[in-house]
Structure formats: C-alpha cells, structure tokens
Structure 1
Amino acid sequence: MRNNRAMTFAPHRIAVLAVDQVVGLDLGTPAQVFGSARTDDLRPLYTVDTCTAGGRPVRSTGGYQVVPEHGLELTETADTVIVPGVHAWSTRFDGVFDPAVTAALRAAHQRGARIMSICTGAFVLAAAGLLDGRRATTHWAYADLFRRLHPAVDLDPDVLFLDTGDVLTSAGVAAGIDLCLHVIRTDHGSEVANRAARRCVVPPWRDGGQAQYIERPVPRAAEAGTAATREWARHRLHEPVALRDLAAHARMSVRTFTRHFRSETGLSPAQWLLQQRTEHARLLLESTELTVDQVARQAGFGTTAAFRQHFHHRVGVAPTAYRRTFRRS
C-alpha cells in the first residue's frame, strides 16, 4: 500500500496570478515558502507557477518586468490560485482589473480551487466578487480605500491573515509568509510547516489574529530586551510561568517588561504564552502518542478541560479531532 501511495504521489498545484504593477516581494513569496515544503524524503509537496492574462509580461513595483511561462489557462487546473499584491497607492487607483483575470478567478473558485491573496491582492479578489459578505483583510494602509471601493466586504485590517475556508486573505508584505505557512500547516501539519519556516529563516508561527504592526516604532537597542526571556520561556512551556517570572528573568519591573514585550511582539505576555503553548500542543498531537491529558500537561495548560477549551477556541477543533486529521498514519 505504501508503494502504491508513493507511485500516485502528486504535488499540490499552485498558480500565482500576477497583474500589472505586481508587488515584487509578494510575487516571490509563494514560490519560496511553498517550495520549501517537502516530505521526509525531500519530495516537493507543492508546485508553483506564475501566470498572467494572455501570458503577457507585467510590470512590477521593483522596476522590472515579470515574464511568465503561462497564461490564465493555468488557473483552470490549479488546486490553489494566489493573487499577489498590486500597486494601490495612486490617487487614480480605481480597483478595476482585466475582466479576463476576474473571470478566471471566479471560474477557479466555482470549480472548487482554493483562492488566496497577499496584501493588496485582496483588491483583485474583491473586484471578482469573491469577498462579498466575507471577512477579509489587506494592508492596513489601504483599508479606507478598500472600504470605499468594496463596501460589501467585511474588512478587518487589524489581523495578519484570515482563513474563511475556500478564500484566504493576508495583510501587508510579510503577512503573506504567515499565510503561506498557515496553509502548509493546515495541509500537512506543524512539523512540515516548521521545517519550511526554518528553510526560509522566518518564525514558524504568528497567529492570524495577531495585530498588524501598524506604525509601531522599532524599540531602541537598549530597550529590546525580551527576546532572551521569550526563548527561556519556550523551554519551560510545561511549567507554570507567571508574568513576574518573565519580568524577573528580563530583570525588569512587571510594568516595564509588559510594555517592552507588547512593543516587540504585538501581544501581551499572557497572549504570547497561550499562543506558544497551543503551537507546542499541536506538534505533540501530530508527532507523539501522548494522550490528550499528557499533552495538556506537557504544553502547560494545567488541566485537560482548560486545554480542550483553549485549543478549540484557537484552532477551531477539539484536540482529538485535530490529531485524527494531522497525525501520520
């Protein structure tokens, strides 16, 4: 049976649909992140190709042209279609795109393909009518423009990404990396996603509900003092770790530590700890035979009831259901 599975293995097909004035970093993100997702024997789990309307070159915001190898026919067979960001800060930007592009997106969605956008790529999805009545996000700087052009969309510009099942949107620039890692984690589990993150040299996990970093000043070198404490806490997730313990390790008062911690991470210490415990629990559920009670203790949730409640709230399913979905056979 294993040999038969190996013979029928086929990577998930991704089409990156670029429009004129595509954002260069957003365009390269899917190929880099999904291209880093591999099986244990290093087979690629995804193939990523780029397409444009008519297969024509398009301009990028980086001052170069993108010459694709495919036209929109690529979207007819792709399992996932991703629209990178597009230049949207011109006062003349009206959110209107090539009708062939919007038609291709609607057709891909209707046949069941997963549709994603990075940053202002949400404008393209909205123009195709795929976001009407849905929660969606985009770069915070363009939230007002987005709302004016697409009032039927339930826009939330305060999160890194939103997953509504068949349509996923992300905030600006680096949040596209978070969304791609989230998809890998959803498709193949935390272990594969973490390996991909390590290959890309990026953090393996930022919760989609985490606030966008909106005009938050970078801490001065003398103030950036919680990184070592966060690493210390990660190695003690199985232990009770109180706020005063974190502050004492950082050699700060509780008030000063909390202020610096939120400035550096965008989260309170309690929110961050819960995020880390949940992610550790996911990995344990996927990769070990520990019981749910044991996972609850190893991840530092204290009681199984508390673990079940927090896990279901953050992940959307019960621990046992998550294990059935993601644990290797």
Structure 2
Amino acid sequence: MLITEHPGHLDEPPESVLAALRAAADRGIRVAAVGTGVFTLAATGLLDGRRATTGWRHTEELATHHPRLQVDPIGTVVEDGCFLTTAGIFGGLDICLHILRDDHGARVAGETARELITPLQVDADRVQDTIEREIMDSSGLEPTLRWLESRLDRAVSLPEIAAHARTSTSSLTRRFRTHTGRTPLQYLLHARISEAQRLLTETDIPVERIAARTGFTSPAVLRRHFRSLTGLTPRAYRQAHRAKPAQEDQG
C-alpha cells in the first residue's frame, strides 16, 4: 500500500482513511509513504516510536506535528517494521527499488535500477563535471562543497556546515537545494557513496575500511545506504565494475 504526496498534509485525514491504514497494518501489509504522504501515515499513530522521513522542506513540520517520531533528515528510504517512508520527487522510485530488492533480491533490483539509469549515462562524467563546475562557480558554495568532500571520513553536522558557509542552517539548506538539488546532508551522503564507488572500483580496500574512510559508522550502514542509492551491495558493485574491463578486452 502506497500513500503518495498530496496537498493539505497538515489537515486531519478522514477517519475512514486512518481506519483503513490501521487495518492494513494489522494484517501485516507493507505500508509505504512518499513525501507529504508520510503525514497521513503518521496521523494513524502507527509510526509513534519509529524512524521515518519526508521531503527536506517538511522534516521540521513532521517533527513538530508528530513528536513521537524519530525523523531522519537525510530523506532516503527508511524502513521500520512494515512501514517505509522516503522524500518526494524520486522517492516513489526509491521505494519501489527497495521493495523489489527485498522481494526479489539485489540482482533484480540492480538490473532494474541500471535499466532506469543507463540511458542517462552517455558522457555522464564529463557532463556532470561541467554542470557541477558551473553550479559551484555561480553559487559561492564551492569552498564549502570542497570542504565537505575533504571530510568524508568525519562526522559533520548541519550547524558545522552552516558555520563554514557563514550562514544559517535554513539559508544553507535553501542554497544547497537551489544549486545542487539536494540538502547539505543529502549532498554529503551522495558524496560519500560516490567516494565509496571509486574505492570499490579502483582499489582492493575491504568494505570495512571503505566504510570508515567514507564516514559511515559501520559497514552495515554503508551497505544500507549504498543499496538504497545504487540498487547493489558494495560487493556486487565491485564485482560488476571489475568485470567490465575484462569483457571489453575480450570484445
């Protein structure tokens, strides 16, 4: 069962909707909510004491209106029991890949993710480098972005990032969303995953050490975020990308 984004997310949902969601949960049905749809699920009380997330614009609202929740500010898929929540925009896709992996395995989820992403990858590195350079040159965020990228192995909080950029956390978040499409913590997470991908592809460093070098508190946390963003485990990603050169040489 999926609850999508909708207007009026702060309004009290109809009792019939709340009853239907509670009944579904009682039957053990998996319930997913995307973006502001998380507010509807939270109104049932089913998320009390659980971890959940929503779009970056609404995390503070979610924490204020539902203080019994543990709000995850990153916005990637959060699974707690039979409940899954995520941010908006591409959150629905993230949820689907997450469920696909749970039901059919990482290989199927990874193949599906590649089918969705591959058409966008023509000259992807060159295009991305150009876009990022133009974005950072115009935004004034380049020093802070480079500062973050030099500290991927360390715990960095939102207030610390704001202090480096010499701005408030709210202003920082707006600037990051405008110029990178992500919140500061989402940007940091993607930078960590990108560095993990590089280390997996270019080195033989064990996953345990890669987790430490990219700022994850444990290999398990790295694996969870890595699978959420790529559809693959770190080991499967390494095997897939190590196999490519050999296949190309044979061709």
Cα-to-partner distance string for 1:241-260 (whole Å, 9 max, x where unaligned):
xxxxxxxxxxxxxx798369
Over 3 Å counting, the alpha-carbon distance change for 1:203 and 1:302 in structure 2 is farther
| Equivalent position to 2:221, from 297, 310, 313 | 313
Matched-pair identity in %: 32
2:155 matched residue in structure 1: none
User: 2:92 corresponds to which residue?
Assistant: 176
Q: CA deviation at 1:169?
A: 0.4
1:85 matched to 2:1: no
Bigger CA radius of gyration: 1
Contact kept? 1:157, 1:171, Cα under 8 Å: no
Amino acid of the structure 2 residue aligned with 1:315 = R
Corresponding position of 1:223: 133
Aligned to 2:188: 267
Distance 1:168 1:192 in 2: 20
CA distance in 2, matches of 1:182, 1:159: 14
* Equivalent of 1:99 in 7, 15, 22: 15
Of 186, 197, 206 in structure 1, the residue corresponding to residue 113 of structure 2 is 197
DSSP-derived class of the 1:267 partner = helix
Please give the per-residue CA displacement for 1:261-280, whole angstroms capped at 9, x wherever unaligned. 797581378723454279x7
How big is the shift at 1:123?
A: 0.8
Q: Higher relative CO (CA 8 A, sep ≥ 6), structure 1 or 2?
A: 2
| Counterparts of 2:209 and 2:203, CA distance in 1 | 10
TM-score (norm: length of structure 1): 0.43
Unaligned runs of 5+ in 1: 1-80, 205-217, 226-254, 281-297, 317-321, 323-329
Structure 2 residue corresponding to 1:153, chosen from 69, 89, 92: 69
Q: Is the 8 A contact 2:207 2:219 kept in 1?
A: no
2:208–2:219 Cα contact (<8 Å) kept: no
2:101 maps to which residue? 185
1:130 to 19, 22, 46: 46
Cα separation, 2, equivalents of 1:260 and 1:308: 17
Q: Which residue of 2 aligns with 1:116?
A: 32
Q: What is the alpha-carbon distance in structure 2 between the residues aligned to residue 133 and residue 271 of structure 1?
A: 29
- Are the equivalent residues in 2 in contact too, given 1:258–1:269 (CA < 8 A)? no
* Residue of structure 2 in register with 1:276 after alignment: 197
What corresponds to 1:14 in structure 2?
Answer: none
Residue 83 of structure 2 corresponds to residue 163 of structure 1: no
In the superposition, relative to structure 1, how do residues 300 and 187 fare at CA in structure 2: closer, same or farther (>3 Å)?
farther
**Residue 143 (structure 1) aligned to one of 33, 39, 59:** 59
Higher helix share: 2
Unpaired runs of 5+ residues, structure 2, are 121-127, 136-142, 150-175, 213-217, 225-232, 234-251
- Aligned equivalents of 2:129 and 2:208: distance in 1? 38
Give distance in 2, aligned partners of 1:144 and 1:158.
12
Deviation of the 1:87 alpha carbon: 0.9
User: Which amino acid counterpart does residue 158 of structure 1 have in structure 2?
Assistant: I
Displacement after TM superposition at 1:159 (Å): 2.6
C-alpha separation between the residues in 2 aligned to 1:149 and 1:183? 28
What SS is found at the alignment partner of 2:188? coil
CA deviation map 1:201-227 (0-9, x unaligned): 4799xxxxxxxxxxxxx99747159xx
- Give the TM-score, by structure 2 length: 0.55
Aligned residues: 175
Contact 1:224 1:260 in 2 (8 A): no
2:146 corresponds to which of 248, 252, 258: 258
The alpha carbon displacement at 1:193 in A equals 1.3
- Contact 2:21–2:41 under 8 Å retained in 1: yes
Change (3 A) 1:315 1:257: closer
Q: Secondary structure of the residue that 1:184 maps to in structure 2?
A: helix
Cα distance in structure 1, aligned partners of 2:14 and 2:189:
44
Change (3 A) 1:99 1:201: same
Once residues 211 and 74 of structure 2 are traced to their aligned partners in structure 1, the CA distance between those partners, rounded to angstroms, is 27
